[in-house]
Structure formats: structure tokens, C-alpha cells
Homo-oligomer: A and B are copies of this chain.
Amino acid sequence: MKVKLGGEIKNYPAVWLKDDVVKFIDQRALPHEFTIFEARSYQDVAEAINTMIVRGAPAIGVAAAYGMALAARQPDASLESASEVLFATRPTAYDLDFALNYMKDACGTESVSAEKAAEAARSYADKIIERCKKIGENGEGLIKDGMNILTHCNAGALATVEYGTALAPMRLAAGKGKKFFVYVDETRPRLQGAKLTAWELNNEDIPCAVIADNAAGYYMKNKDIDIVITGADRIAALGDAANKIGTYEKAVLAKENGIPFYIAAPVSTFDADIQKGEDIPIENRDPEEVLELDGRKITPEGVDAKNPAFDVTPAKYIEGFITEIGILKPDQLKDTIFSKKISF
């Protein structure tokens, strides 16, 4: 992704493997500081996922794959135990399961060489990048000149290594010279929209404005928004989709106002083993994320908070899924993405 640094434009992926170190853009420090976190063990990678140095389902998957590559170098580690530790970091993103299974399949149950594990992890990352680019190509046609788009949270390159899921069609449309405007939900409590999506769009010179999450409905009702595109963390077989808390609200409001609501995601986010949204595990995070903002207490002493990190948008609110194999209606998932004919 483009990163404007001191007047220059550089290119960075969100996460990459360099020799025996996994490097991450530290997403906790953005947009004010651009720093690189270095993980030298699968435990470091688990910490990076846990503390949200890296977040976003596809990027979590890639980070986990690289973590497995590091484990293959660690004399005291087994792929099995590394997989367990990495799997336990966050419950909602299906890409994490998917990537760990990919790595276990690629590396086998016998001891694997560090080179082979690194090659498998790099291959996983390359496939995710390629699939996100394809999502961009497949979704780009939805974006017309003059459109106003709403997005929630960050489903950009930071969340997927490169291109993004929801932001991939925008990057490709901008690359073709299309003019459009993006309303960015700030996405409390962690402000991934205000901090990360705004940073990515600004680096790409795509016009945007941050809005309070509360204002999205206002703009939808005023017909100021033409299309909503978000990412997802896990999509069930019937098309119900878990994504960042607040996504469900936007989907209901989009439906109510006749605005098409799309979810962009690669095959690694689709969980064939879960039928319905109700069965997707939802992470509850530390209430301090709500009680504080950037480490500053905003609520009175003695007041509690609740902090579900994700919600589930039922399939009936979803106009389509923008995937690497095309744009699919929820009822088309069964015979396409979930038909098991897609090799990864």
C-alpha cells in the first residue's frame, strides 16, 4: 500500500516475512506514528494479533501463517503447539482457522524444514494478496463516477496485507480515474475508521470524510450515500456475516433506505462448518476500550461498560458478497464459495 512518509511515497505491506523476522506496521500507533513491530517467534506473532498490532481477518490469517513459519525454526516449538497458541488469540476471524489449516496441510504432520514452512506461508500471503486484488477487480464496477460510498471499520490493505477487501474496489476504481467520495465511520471503540481507513484513503488521495458512527443513518436517509461496502470476519453458510461491531446497524439502515449493502471478503473468511450467524463466536473485549479513549478516561468513576467487538449481519440485509470469484448473492454461496470446488 502507498504510505506517505516525510514527503515521499513508499510501498509497504501490512505484514511481511523478512528472513526469520515477521514485520508488521504497528496499527496501534497509526495514524500519528509509523513504526514497525518485529516478531521473532510465533509467540511474538500471537502477541501482535492479541494486542491488535495487526487486525483484520485476512491479515490475521497471514500473520498466523508467518507465525507457523517462525515456529518451524524454533527448536523448542512444534507446529501443533504454535497452531494452538495462535488459534487462541482471537475467536471471531475465520481466516485464522483457515490459515492455520492451510499451513498444517502444507507442512504435514512430520517435522518440516524452516524453508518449506516459510515458502508455504509466503505462498499463503501471496494468494491472499492476489485474491484481494481480484476482489477489487470484481467490485470496481459497482463504483460509478460521482458516487458516495460508506464504509465501516478498516477493511483496507492494513486488514489484508495489500489492496484490502472493502477498499480494494475503491483502490481499483480510483486507479481507473473514477471520482467518488467515501464516508468513513469512525468505528468506536477502537476508531479503526478514523485512524486506519482515513489514513489509507488519504495516502491514496481518495476524497473522504470521517463521520461519527451515529451520523451514517443521517446521510443514508438524506440520500447522500449510494452504496455501503464493508469487510467481514466470518461468513456462515447461509450468508450471515460477522464483522466489526456496528456493521449490523449500517446494514439495517441501508436496507431501510434502499441502499445496497455489500460485503467484500476472500474465500478464507467463509466458514462452511457454521450454518447460521448465531453460531459465530463473538469476542467480548476489555470494557476499558469503551471507558477510555487513547488511554484517557471518558466516563465517571464506578461506571461499567460492555464491549462486544463484532456483530452479525443476517443475510437478508446483504445485497451481495464481493469475492475473488465474482459478486455473489447470499443464496448463491452454497453452490459457489461453499461448494468446495475452489482450491486455495
Query: Which residues of A are at the interface with B, using a C-beta cutoff of 8 A?
Result: 30-32, 183, 186-189, 191, 194-195, 198-199, 201-202, 208-219, 221, 244-246, 248-249, 252-253, 256, 287, 290-291, 293-294, 296-308, 311-312
Contact = CB atoms under 8 A, between A and B. Distances in A.
B188 A213 contact: yes
Given A191-B298, A198-B300, A202-B300, A290 B221 contact: no
A151 to B, nearest CB: 14
A30 B300 CA distance: 8
Contacts of A300: 30-32, 195, 198-199, 202
Contacts of A189: 212, 214
Given A191-B298, A293-B293, A296-B296, A212 B303 contact: no
Q: Chain copies in the assembly?
A: 2
What are the 7 closest A-B residue pairs judged by CB atoms, nearest first? Answer: A214-B246, A31-B300, A217-B249, A218-B311, A188-B212, A198-B303, A210-B305
Given A195-B299, A210-B299, A300-B31, A290 B248 contact: no
Contacts of A191: 298
Given A198-B299, A210-B306, 9 more contacts: A32-B297, A195-B299, A199-B303, A210-B291, A213-B213, A214-B245, A217-B249, A219-B306, A253-B253
7 contacts: A189-B214, A194-B290, A195-B298, A201-B303, A209-B304, A209-B305, A218-B248
Contacts of A194: 290-291, 298-299
Contacts of A299: 31, 194-195, 198, 210
A217 B221 CA distance: 17
A221 B298 CA distance: 27
A200 B294 CA distance: 24
| Interface SS majority for chain A | mixed
A305 B159 CA distance: 23
A194 B296 CA distance: 13
Counting chain B CB atoms within 10 Å of each CB, the highest count among A252, A291, A299 belongs to: A299
A312 B220 CA distance: 12
A208 B297 contact: no
A303 B210 contact: yes
Contacts of A311: 214-215, 217-218, 221
Give the one of A211, A212, A256 with max B CB within 10 A: A212
With a 10 A CB-CB cut-off, give which of A202, A214, A244, A252 has the most chain B CB atoms.
Answer: A214
Of A201, A244, A308, chain B has the most CB atoms within 10 Å of the CB of A308
Given A213-B188, A218-B245, A299-B194, A294 B291 contact: no
Contacts of A244: 214
